[in-house]
Chain A
Amino acid sequence: MSIARPNFQLIAALILAFVISSAIAYYYVVYVMNNTSLLFAQLVTSGLMLGGIYGLAATGLTIIFGVMKIINLAHGELMMLGGFISLWISTFLRTDPLFVLPISFVVLFVIGVFFQSTLFNSAMRYGLNPPVFLAFAIALALQNLMILAWTADVRIIRSPLIDSTVQVEGVSIQLARFVSFILAIVLILLVKAFIEKTMIGKGLRAISQNREAAALMGINVSIVNVLAYSLGVGLAAIAGTMLGMVFSVSPLDGPVLTSKTIAIIVLGGIGSVAGALVGGLILGLIETYVGYIVGSGFINAVALLTFLLVLILRPSGLFGER
């Protein structure tokens, strides 16, 4: 995982990505579709806020990849599971889903501990492919279990506390989106501080750079594996709940979310937390532009197109470490 150090090349690349996509969007929204620039400001705000939630989910994925060197193909399903569990607990306890976020985090963290210490731990002994297949199998199993438990219907996680819209300078902001965004940013910064400042976080980064050398430092590699996976899955649960509050959750959304989070970490540089955030923001923006200009049916295609473009233009991602 990369350390916060100014890298002018990547800052330039990001500003470029932001400016180019925004310039094109602005041109269409204002000159082709004849809207006000206020509406454009609206798109930018919603896009960035959605992007923060994506960034949080991708932070989980990138930490798992950094330490275990496997892409968690069940990430989207685990996000949705987190969403459903929040919904279920908040209904059961009659509390606002916002307060249930920590519980949902803990529940998925524990599920992560179970998956890692039993299934992944043994699969990892046979190389890098078996754990990836395992993640895929978990994704399929979870999707079907969620359909059994909650049907394939789309659900909205309504949080009465933040179920309103506020106007700031003429731009209307969905409160759920705003609160989720702020929370997501805070969590990402906390995770970043954790892996950079604490000893165990440094151990996590050490493993991501050289597993054998990390063991030689006295780091208990198996425990750190468990920690990384569970933390990543816990963050996915929070992000999934936030998506449910802003849009909706459905057992069928898992695969698309997995693809999106993969696209984000490739965009931001695999293994980098800052990259996950920035990649998330960019994807959130572009999705929102495309959703408005071309139509919401095209939103999911955008993630995959972005993914392909980044792979072609810069395989190591904008925040690439090598």
Chain B
Amino acid sequence: MMLGVDNVVAGYGEVTVLKGINLTVRKGEIVSLLGANGAGKTTTLKVISGLLQPKGGRVSFNGHDITTARTNERVKMGIILVPEGRQLFPRMTVLENLELGAYTKKARTRIKETLHRVYELFPILKERKFQLAGTLSGGEQQMLAIGRGLMALPELLLLDEPSLGLAPKIVKLVMDAIDRINKVDGITVLLIEQNVYRSLQISDRAYIIENGMITLEGSGQELLNEPRVRSAYLGLSA
């Protein structure tokens, strides 16, 4: 087991959002975390990446307890979050954003090859490398956010709604890239997606989160056939 989230309780101030979350991710998998708006998906990824300290429970990575580790320590271990809303550095160029992705020592030594790989996945980034990130289109920004995450040489890549607000063509491009990142580069992925159908298709397993609790778990194919998922998230008849 690469990532273990064990009975995690977390929230903001007095408000408790996660009420005891359990989930695991094994090496090499793509795992989806699905749920309605406000269910606690982003909060879960914040706990895993160390941006939010849980009130209870435990997070482990490759056998180490990382519950209290700081974000920068987790990045060194290979846990990389591509956050909701991209969170680029708007007044830096595409290239500078990518370079910052490779901030850790280990990533810095391999910056050339990784950059090459990122340009291969998203050729538009190469064309735009001297453009300020804040002036990119939504799709280009999302590609840059993922590319910046890849520059850190992740072992576990956490993706928070990478296709939100993108045109269908770009959604396909991004989802295909995620699939390739996993299959070709061997990077383990934990994915939050609105695009439930497509994400279940590329996922090995998936969790459904409702109101801060995991209510359903199964392989991508199982959940695609699950009546509750079909009616609530896919808008199909059960």
Q: Which residue numbers of A lie inside 8 Å of B, CB to CB?
A: 2-3, 199, 202-203, 205-206, 209-210, 212-221, 321
Contact = CB atoms under 8 A, between A and B. Distances in A.
B108 A199 contact: yes
Nearest to A215: B71
B190 to A, nearest CB: 15
The 3 closest A-B pairs by CB, nearest first: A218-B75, A213-B87, A215-B71
Contacts of B103: 199, 203, 217-219
Given A199-B108, A209-B89, A215 B100 contact: no
B89 A218 contact: no
A178 B107 CA distance: 45
Interface residues of B, number: 27
Contacts of B107: 218
A209 B89 CA distance: 6
Contacts of B88: 210, 213
A216 B72 CA distance: 7
Contacts of A214: 100
Interface in B51-105: 51, 70-72, 75-76, 80-81, 83, 87-92, 96, 99-101, 103-104
Contact of A219 (B72, B87, B96, B99): B72
A213 B93 CA distance: 15
A215 B51 contact: yes
B163 interface: no
A213 B83 contact: yes
Contact of B89 (A199, A213, A220, A221): A213
- Candidate in A209, A214, A321 with the most chain B CB atoms within 10 angstroms: A209
Contacts of A213: 83, 87-89
A206 B87 CA distance: 11
B75 A216 contact: yes
B51 A212 contact: yes
B49 interface: yes
B152 interface: yes
Contacts of B80: 216
A3 B95 CA distance: 14
A8 B61 CA distance: 51
16 contacts: A199-B108, A202-B99, A203-B100, A209-B89, A209-B92, A210-B87, A210-B88, A210-B90, A213-B87, A213-B89, A216-B49, A218-B72, A218-B103, A218-B104, A219-B72, A220-B70
Residue among A203, A213, A219 with most chain B CB within 10 A: A213
Contact of B87 (A199, A212, A218): A212
A217 B102 CA distance: 7
B100 A217 contact: yes
A210 B101 CA distance: 13
B95 to A, nearest CB: 11
- Name which of A213, A218, A220 has the most chain B CB atoms within 10 A of its CB: A218
